[in-house]
Amino acid sequence: MSGEINATNVVIENGTGDVVGQMEMTLTFNGTPIDISNKSFDDWVTLMDGELASKQLTISGSIVYNDDTQFRKVRDDALAGIADDYTLTYVSAATTDESFSCSMIPNGLSDALPHGDKITTTITFLSTGVVTHVPAAT
């Protein structure tokens, strides 16, 4: 497929522009459609077009445990519930970069400690407030 992006080129940076780390992650954008059903549509559900409530960006994944300052900061922020600004960018060789920027709170810190193998930290970043989305260029 032409123009595909390798996920290795997805970067998450904090508010200072420092790279947080190399992660395997899932990005989910949630929003709840607004139900405007009424009897004029019989028993059919009608949803408001162009509006969502309770919108939130969630990034969850695992990162190899390390001694990098930014990784340690994310861990500390998760333990204290502290928000920071983050930008997640899909990087490509062409002009198809897409990014999401917002204030996020790291949450759900979980370490996997397999005997004789690398330690990985699973973490979720929850957006708080407005998410700025820069769509891929065409």
**In whole numbers, what is the pLDDT of the chain averaged over residues?**
87
Question: How much is the pTM?
Answer: 0.83
What is the residue whose two structure tokens read 């861990």? 75
**pLDDT value at position 128?**
97
| Pairing between β-strand 47-64 and β-strand 23-35 as defined by DSSP bridges | antiparallel
Confidence label for 20 from pLDDT (cuts 50, 70 and 90): confident
User: Among 1-5, 36-40, 88-92, 96-100, which stretch is predicted with the lowest mean pLDDT?
Assistant: 1-5
The single-letter code of the amino acid at 49 is D
Q: What is the pLDDT of residue 100?
A: 93
Q: Is the pLDDT of residue 96 over 70?
A: no
Residue 84 exposed, middle or buried by CB count within 10 Å (0-12, 13-18, 19+):
middle
